[in-house]
Structures are given as C-alpha cells and as structure tokens.
Structure 1
Amino acid sequence: MDFNHLDTVKDPVLGNGLAASKDLSAGEPIIKISEPFLIVVEKDALEKVCSFCLIESDASSLKRCTGCKVVRYCTPTCQKADWKLIHKNECSLLQRLPGIPPTPVRALYQALLRYVRPTFELDSRSASLEHHVQDLKKDRKRWDEIVLQAKGALEFSKTPADKMDMVTRLLCIMATNAFRATLPDDTPIGLCYEPTLALANHSCMPNAFIMFDGRSISLMTLNPIKTGEQIFISYVDFTQSRDQRRGELKQRYFFDCECEKCKYSRTPYRVCKETTAVPSEKLALLYDYKTLVSQADEREHEIQAIRQDLNDLKQEIYVAHSLIDLSKTTASETERLNFLKQAISDLSLYKNHKLFALPPYSTVLDELYLTYIDNGHLTSALILLLFIFLNCDIYNWPQPNHPIRVTRLFTIARLLKYASSLEPATLEQTLPFIPREILTGIDFIDATHTILILVNELAPLSHGQGTRFIGQVELELREVEEVQRLRGGVGKALQKWQSEGNTAVDGRNIASQIFTGLKTLAGFAFEVIGKQNL
C-alpha cells in the first residue's frame, strides 16, 4: 500500500478521518491497495465474475470449483490463488450447506478464518473502528438478524461459543464500514472491507471516490485537494434528494449529515456552479464549461421562482417513487415501462421548467433508459442516454473525471457503435419519429470514434492508469481506428485531433459537427418516451 499521499486526522465533529499529506490534482490516486483486507463476491454475481480477480465473463467461460460448485474462476491461476487465500477453508462448508449463505455471513466467517484465529481476538485495525452496537440494538428486528448471522458465522468458522460477543461486534464493524465492490461501470458485485479506507468521512459533496479494478482498490481525487485538507467520499448516492440521503445515512450509519449540500439544501445546479472542473478543450466542443455554469445559474433561479410549486408536489413525488419501486418488481416489461411513463407525466412541472437533473425526475429517466436497454431497444436507449448525459449527468456529477460520467460516455460510444452497424433503412425503422435527414446527417462511425477519443482522455483521471477499464477503451478505440483506416479520410483527421487537440482544425471541425448532431438526437428523448413501446 502506498500511503505517501495520506494522513490520519482527528476531526472534532466527525471523529477519525483521512487527509491529504501533499497537494493533489483532480484525478490523482491518493492510495492504491492491491490486496484489500477482505473482498467477497455476492450471490447474484457468482456466475458472472471470477471469485478471485473479479473479472467479468459470461458463465460459459468461467469454470466452477469442482468441489462446492458455487464459486467460479477465469483461470487455474486464480483458482489456486483463491484456494490458498481462503477457499480451502470454505469449500467443504459450501458443500455441506443447503444454500449459499448471505454475503455478510460469508464475509464474516472469512474474516474470522483469516484474521481472528488462533487468538480469537479482533485484529487491531478492525478494533479501532466504529461498530454502533448500542444503536443497532435499539432496532429489535434488525438486531435479531445480526445475532442470527453472527451465530451462523461462528458455527461455520468453528469459533468458540464464548467469543460470540466479539463475533457480533466484528459483524457490526463490517456492516458499518464495508464498501460495495463494483465493476468499472459501478455495477455492484460484492462486499469489500478495508479498514484504512473506512476512515474516510462522508460528504454529499465528496472530493474523492473509491475505484475498483478487479481486486485492487484505489482512493482517487475528484477535485484538487490541498495539503492537510480532509478527504471525503460519499457513503450513499448523493444524487438523491436531501431527505433520502439523510434518511439512509441515519438508518445505516446513525448520524445526521451536516455537509453544505444538506445543510443549505443545495441543488445539483448550485453544486455545479461551485465545482472546479478539470479543463478539457475537447470536451468543451460538446458543452462549453462557461455556458454550463450560466445554464446552471438559470436553472437555480428557475427553482427559486417556482419553489412553492415544487413544494406542492410532495404527493406526486411520493407517487413517483412508488411507481419506480413498482417498475422494479413487476414481471411485465410493458407494465414496467408504463409505470415509468406515468411517473414522468406526473412530474411534468420538472420538464416544463427544464429541471431534469432534480430527483426524482433524473431517477425516472435513468430507469426508462435501463428499461430500453434490458429490452434490446438500443437506439431508443442511445437517444435517452444522450439526453440524460447532457441534461442530468453534467450537473449531478459536475466533475468531468467522475467515473460515472466517464462510463456513461463509454456506454454512449458503444451504443453509437451498434447504431453504426445498422443499415440506414433499419435505423430509420427503429426511430421513425426522427426525420430521415437528421439520421442520415450523422456518421455513426465517426461519432463512435469521437466519443471514444473523449473517453480515452478522461479515463486515466476517472479509473486510474493501467486499469482494465482503460484496456477496454483502448481496444474499442483500436477497432474503430481500423474501420476508419479502411474507410480513409476522416479517421486520420480525428486521430490528429486526438493527439494535437483543437489546433488540429479539420479534426476539431469534424468533432464539433458530430457533437451538434448528437445534441440534436438528444432533443428527441421525449418522442422516444412518448412513442417507443416494448
């Protein structure tokens, strides 16, 4: 572990925390941990990721453990490494059990087997962390579940019965301090417990974020951070409403958030205005930062002008959240789509005033986009995602190097690649409400190439140098460059724009024209919502 950029601090209000030991620029790794304290693949991801290196693959390419037939590996090397690390102690247990234990139970007995034996005492790094045992005991149902899980882990790990209090405390420590392990696109795949990073305090306006690259975990800067400045991450989805954020933080972590975003009810537009962005002359062709700040200011004034009208929407907002929940539980994809369309209709005030980034409107748009993805309507998903990126994402995640922003751009590139594979007549059939001259006016191969150039520039700042995500981006970029080579002409101009920036006039003009076309496509998002059924 590299601790060169990290100090521990004692905050009089927040308690233990982490601070920068030197000036850090945006997109810089603060600390990288190649082997976290504990990382466990959750049940729903066991068939799609290697249980050691956490590489995502289709189930047919991952080989099951021949003993327990539960965990899977991408190579014999990973299988041997995991066997030595923990699986030799877990395999026979998984064979005996009627089902796969819950992820917290698996994580707890792995921690007991790896770190607690033979002394059966808490390791020093865990013992210093907050456990909230007394707070958790106040919720009888929740506490009973914790005790039940602790008993299971105690028995599975053959820990002495008189160590039950210690085992329960360790479970509470892990529940309070663990992170979601994710793929590069933020898809959750498991649980990661790393005491060093658990010291980072929370803010709904974080200046850093945690990034996974297989088993490796990094703490990366979002904003420039000065020496001695405290490092904040977000424990929850900070794009939610203030009430949702505060409710989740109180329920899970037992504190009232008093960050500036919560304390002063700051909107995404206000936060965007106050955020220092990473300069990018290429990205400025898609949206100009000064124009963005000006538009954020206009939206902020709009919110103040209709504040009472927004406050009167409490019932509609409650119904919208209910419809989102219903859309996730229904087995009918048509019902799912209809629930979300109803939510959009009920929140028409947001649309009328172009307040697309405010929750729950942005959440409904995301769910609509995912619905089209899940049902193979990829061109409709492309239009929606372009709209979401330009009207929600750039405000909700105002730093261009935020990993969600960068992975969204990468997804846009992949959807453009799909659109480029379609015959013009087929593309027109999938989007009949978009005029033919607009569709034929966009070269989707050039558009794919251009967006990938943006992603390639931003990825080292969002995901870190040498990561698997960067490898994926570079592979896609090489493929489109080869297609462009065979076509001749435009590809070379874009490659020159990639290496020389906006001084490469021909490439800059091509990129600018493409971005204009994509913004035009984004303008048809509500035609997609209104006319595209499943």
Structure 2
Amino acid sequence: MDLNYSRTVKDPVLGNGLAASKDLSAGEPIIKISEPFLIVVEKDALEKVCSYCLIESDTSSLKRCTGCKVVRYCTPACQKADWKLIHKNECSLLQRLPGIPPTPVRALYQALLRYVRPGPAFELDSRSQGLEAHVPDLKRDRKRWDEMVLQAKGALEFSKTPADKMDMVTRLLCIMATNAFRATLPDDTPIGLCYEPTLALANHSCVPNAFIMFDGRGISLMALDPIKAGEQIFISYVDFTQSRDQRRAELKQRYFFDCECQKCKHAYTPYRVCKESTAISSEKLALLYDYKTLVFQAEEREQEIQVMQQELNDVREAISVTHSLIDLSKTTASETERLNFLKQASSDLSLYKTHKLFALPPYPTILDELYLSYIDNEHLTSALILLLFIFLNCDIYNWPQPNHPIRVTRLFTIARLLKYAASLEPAALQHSLPFIPSEVLAGTDFIDATHAVLILVDELAPLSHGQGTRFVGQVELELREVEEVQRLRGGVGKALQKWQSEGNSATDGRKIASQIFTGLRTLAGFAFEVIEKQRL
C-alpha cells in the first residue's frame, strides 16, 4: 500500500467500515495502491487494453502473447512483469481450453494460485477471511448459485486445488462476487475486475463522500467531500443517480441489504441533494455556471416537485414504459429504430421537460442514450450540443461536486467535441447543424472554446483522477496542443493563458472566458432542436 489515511472501524449497524485517520480535503487521496490484490482484464477488453498495466491502446500496437494468443501487452516490460506475476501459470491453461474462461473463473483461478496457503491447511489468506461471503443469500437464487458452483469447480480443476477444498473455493468466489470492484478506464468504461480487500471494507451510501479511481493498474480511494478525522468513509456501490427503487433493488440483488441512507430513507431528489452538498470553490468554473444560482434553482425545483407530487405520481406508468423503450433501444438492430425509441421515451416524459426537471430519473438516462446514439453514428456536432445540455441541466445536479470524476470526464469530452467542431469548415459545420442559426455558429470560436474548457478540466483533473495520473497527462497534452494552435494564429490565446495562471484577476481573460461560456450555454439551448430534427 503506497498511502493510507484510513483505519478500520466497527459500525453498530453497517458492520466493518473505514474511517479517515486525519482531516481530508476534497480531491485528496485516502488510500493509494499501485499493486492491488488481484486485477483481471475482462474478455471484452482483452483486445484493447494491456493485460498488465491496463492502459488502453490501439489493437495494432498491442502485442499478443505468442503462446496462448489471448492476452496482449503494450511493451515487453509489461509482458515480462505479467509472466512473472501470473501468466507463466495461466498461459498453458489458456492454450488448452477451447475458449476464454469467464472473468470470475480467471480471477478465482489466479487468486487460488497466488494467495491460498499451500500445504495441509490450504486456507484462505487472512485478508479474505474477514470479508462477508453471503453464501446463504446467494444460495436462495438457485440459478445464480448453480452457475457459481460450476465456476468454482472450473477454477478448482484449473488450479489443481484438492477436491476436498471445494467449499473453501466456492466461499472465496462468493467473497469476490460481493466485494470486487469494476476496473475502469478514466472515463468509467469497464475493462475488468479488481479485488482489493482493504477497499472492500468501505461501506455504501447513495450520498457518498468518497469514490474509487483507477489509473491503469493502480487503484485509489479519493475524497469527494472534505472528511474529518474519525468520520466514516462511504462510497456508492451502484449508480446513485438512479431512482430510489432502482438503487434499492440493485443493492438488494447484488449485496443483500436494504439501503437506509438519508437519500433513500427520505426519498431525496437530485435537487435536494445538490442544495445540501458542499462543493469546492472554483472562480473559473463559476463563469460557466454560478454555484449560488445553481443552489437557488435546485431549491426552486425541489419546491415545485413537492407541489406537483400528484402529477409525478400519474406518470409512473409512463416511467415504466420509458424504461422499456430504453431497453428496446439497446437491443434493436436498426439505428433509426434506436433513435425513435429514445425520442418516444423523451416525449412520454414531456412533463419533466415542461417543468425543467431534467435531472430527475430516468430523464438523464434518456438524454445519455440519445447522446451515445449520435456518437455511435458519428453525428459529433449533434452529440456536442446534447452533451453541453446534459452537463448544464443534469450533471451539475446529479454530481454537484465539481471534482466528481464523471463531471470532469464529461467536461473533457466536451472539449474534445469542441476541438472536432473547430476542425470543420464553416459550411460543413452549418450543414451538420442546420437547425441552429448561422449567426450563432459563426459567433462561436470553437478553438477558443476548446481552450477555455480545457483550462477548467486542467484545474479539476488532479482532484478527480489524482495528481500525476495518466488522465491528467492526457489533459495536459490536449492543453499544450491547443496552446500551440493559439500561438500560431494569434488572438485571445495569451489572454486565456493568463486567466489560467492568474484567475479572474486577469480581467481580459476573464471577460473572454465569460463570453465563451455564454456562447456554450446558448448552444446547449438548441438541444431539443437536435433531438426533434436530427436524422441518422
């Protein structure tokens, strides 16, 4: 363990947990582990990430293992390190098998080889022994349990573990199933499974004060909010922007408990959580949206929700239909049908649009799926308009802390889409967005906008993804590139650089940034023009 500002505590209700061992600031690392207990790349990601360092690369630049032809590496050093760690044992097994085993089987197999004590005892390691396995709960779902038993048998045979240790092997699989984390890329794309017993002690809340962050192979527990010494550390086991019913159902099904956090207990809306949250101060970000105004609007919308409870209750059936339409959009073979299902879902919840309740679930999910539809079909300028709207009307309420990694990743994606728009000739840009007045597009300098947004991301990335991480490096590289473009063309680049270094005291840069962000808010206002008129 590279860094640890936590200690184990015993909560009378929640059981074992983690608490801060010192006062922590928002964005400060609580625990950093460069070599986690176990991390395995999942089957769908084997061709796009290095199986040792977990860095994403083009398939052509990753070298496949010449033995098993399953795992890939970005450098000989990574291949050598993984061979020493585990692949010398796994390679011959993968060669013999007709297909790639499921990720839980590979993870269990590796855990048995690396951590189970050999000899007559053949016991679990001490760090796993103390974790909850939920065996009786898992047995209640017969289909799920039978599948887990088959997986445990496979790992037992592959690892040549004695057959009389089947119960121990099955218990370890249960521990991993209910305590492992989803390994992700910096943008939250899932790429594998990470089992780290220390971090598994953190308890759940739908209003977390911390979050898990991956940087390649490394994993960190980061403070989302300021945390006092002795205060318990909470992460969210599920997507806490879902409705209360969805969150509780998922937590019950996967982790076997009924969530009684304040958000669940009192049915808090995103607007209620937002107005009660503590956000780090950023004078630069305040030019994009004002935090005091945000809290005021959250209070207004929360009051409106209380007044219109009956109307919201009346659309419950429409919400159920909406979830069905979202599911259909993910399974249809036709991209046009996919888009039409999502448009219908948006139309069915027109009440939310009328009252500007865009952050209430499931509306953000509809907008996210529409955005992804435009991305998948390379309508990138339409995706830009929609993502600007999502950020300003959903994200800042659902993730009120500016240092939340999803917030920062969204901003970075916006910067990259602005960069794409800047690469288009004016006629091509207008052709891609014919429903936006030409004077609005002509009045937006997309290079300046890219520069200004990257300055925001550069300020926040160390607090969301960690100092010195690869994501921070990506942001710095993009920033240097746009700075070079600005240098070559002259104009306002120097003023924006001064604003970056001196803040709002750099008057010219502040005015330019303010004008840029006003323009982006204007573009975001055309989101429903995009939804209604854009065709694939």
TM-score bracket for the superposition, by shorter chain length: over 0.9
- Give the deviation of 1:401 after TM superposition: 0.1
The residue correspondences of 1:402-421 to structure 2 (distance < 5 A) are 402-421=404-423
What CA distance in whole angstroms lies between the structure 2 residues aligned with 1:63 and 1:332? 35
Counterpart of 2:93 in structure 1 is 93
Counterpart of 1:309 in structure 2 is 311
Say whether the 8 Å CA contact 2:4–2:32 is kept in structure 1.
Answer: no
Once the two structures are superposed, residues 504-526 of structure 1 have per-residue CA deviations (whole angstroms, 9 ceiling, x without a partner) of 00000000000000000000000
What CA distance in whole angstroms lies between the structure 1 residues aligned with 2:424 and 2:5? 49
Once the two structures are superposed, residues 116-162 of structure 1 have per-residue CA deviations (whole angstroms, 9 ceiling, x without a partner) of 15242100000100000011111111111110110011011111100
Counterpart of 1:169 in structure 2 is 171
- Give the deviation of 1:3 after TM superposition: 4.9
- Give the deviation of 1:4 after TM superposition: 4.2
Mark the runs of 5 or more structure 2 residues left unpaired by the alignment.
none
Once the two structures are superposed, residues 74-96 of structure 1 have per-residue CA deviations (whole angstroms, 9 ceiling, x without a partner) of 00100000000000100111111
Range with bigger deviation, 501-510 or 301-310: 301-310
- Give the deviation of 1:2 after TM superposition: 4.0
Counterpart of 1:426 in structure 2 is 428
What CA distance in whole angstroms lies between the structure 1 residues aligned with 2:314 and 2:422? 45
What CA distance in whole angstroms lies between the structure 2 residues aligned with 1:282 and 1:275? 19
Q: Secondary structure at the match of 1:116?
A: coil
The residue correspondences of 1:103-502 to structure 2 (distance < 5 A) are 103-119=103-119, 120-502=122-504
Counterpart of 1:26 in structure 2 is 26
What CA distance in whole angstroms lies between the structure 2 residues aligned with 1:48 and 1:331? 24
Counterpart of 2:40 in structure 1 is 40
Q: Secondary structure at the match of 1:17?
A: strand
Number of equivalenced pairs:
534
What CA distance in whole angstroms lies between the structure 2 residues aligned with 1:316 and 1:130? 39
Counterpart of 1:59 in structure 2 is 59
- Give the deviation of 1:533 after TM superposition: 1.1
What CA distance in whole angstroms lies between the structure 2 residues aligned with 1:4 and 1:128? 19
Q: Secondary structure at the match of 1:108?
A: helix
Equivalent position amino acid for 1:123 in 2? D
What CA distance in whole angstroms lies between the structure 2 residues aligned with 1:91 and 1:339? 45
Once the two structures are superposed, residues 233-259 of structure 1 have per-residue CA deviations (whole angstroms, 9 ceiling, x without a partner) of 000000000000000000010000000
- Give the deviation of 1:52 after TM superposition: 0.2
Identity within the alignment, %: 88
Mark the runs of 5 or more structure 1 residues left unpaired by the alignment.
none
What CA distance in whole angstroms lies between the structure 1 residues aligned with 2:96 and 2:291? 59
Q: Secondary structure at the match of 1:323?
A: helix
What CA distance in whole angstroms lies between the structure 2 residues aligned with 1:116 and 1:333? 49
- Give the deviation of 1:314 after TM superposition: 1.5
Say whether the 8 Å CA contact 2:152–2:170 is kept in structure 1.
Answer: yes
Residues 157 and 117 of structure 1: is their aligned pair in 2 closer, same or farther, counting only changes over 3 Å?
Answer: farther
Which of structure 1's runs of 4+ aligned residues deviate more than 6 A?
none
- Give the deviation of 1:23 after TM superposition: 0.6
Equivalent position amino acid for 1:266 in 2? Y
What CA distance in whole angstroms lies between the structure 1 residues aligned with 2:520 and 2:143? 51
Equivalent position amino acid for 1:367 in 2? E
Say whether the 8 Å CA contact 2:108–2:172 is kept in structure 1.
Answer: yes
- Give the deviation of 1:58 after TM superposition: 1.1
Once the two structures are superposed, residues 391-411 of structure 1 have per-residue CA deviations (whole angstroms, 9 ceiling, x without a partner) of 000000000000000000000
- Give the deviation of 1:99 after TM superposition: 0.8
The CA RMSD measured in Å over matched residues stands at: 0.7
Q: Secondary structure at the match of 1:341?
A: helix
Equivalent position amino acid for 2:226 in 1? P
- Give the deviation of 1:488 after TM superposition: 1.1
Equivalent position amino acid for 1:87 in 2? H
